[in-house]
Structure 1
């Protein structure tokens, strides 16, 4: 800790504080605005679809079930 305070160049500290501020602003936007709610809903839907696609592709290679069957099952679960 003393090395950090004695160092004249605080570029690492400035970078961390800036990154933290940007992430905090993004989180606040997503949770405090109506359009943020819509963005979260879109992201959630896209994540579910990607998960179903990857899981059905992997499952069809490792099991005797087709991708369509696995996607149907995942639709019921998720």
Structure 2
């Protein structure tokens, strides 16, 4: 079933943590994490064409952050 969706300036696409680190080969890779990229790209294009808002959020930590293994955390 194909649905038609109207997107306007009051609508937002929020993309969270779509980064290389979470794709295969990245430091915190998620299996098949890169498979979402083409879908996200299509949604971004749709929102751009129809005037919707697009928000990207990404994970980031400063150097020597406590989440990294060498400083006592679980991450590489």
- Is the TM value for this pair above 0.5? no
Normalising by structure 1, we get a TM-score of 0.28
Higher strand share: 2
Higher helix share: 1
Q: Which has the higher contact order (CA 8 A, sep 6+)?
A: 2
Question: Which has the larger Rg?
Answer: 1
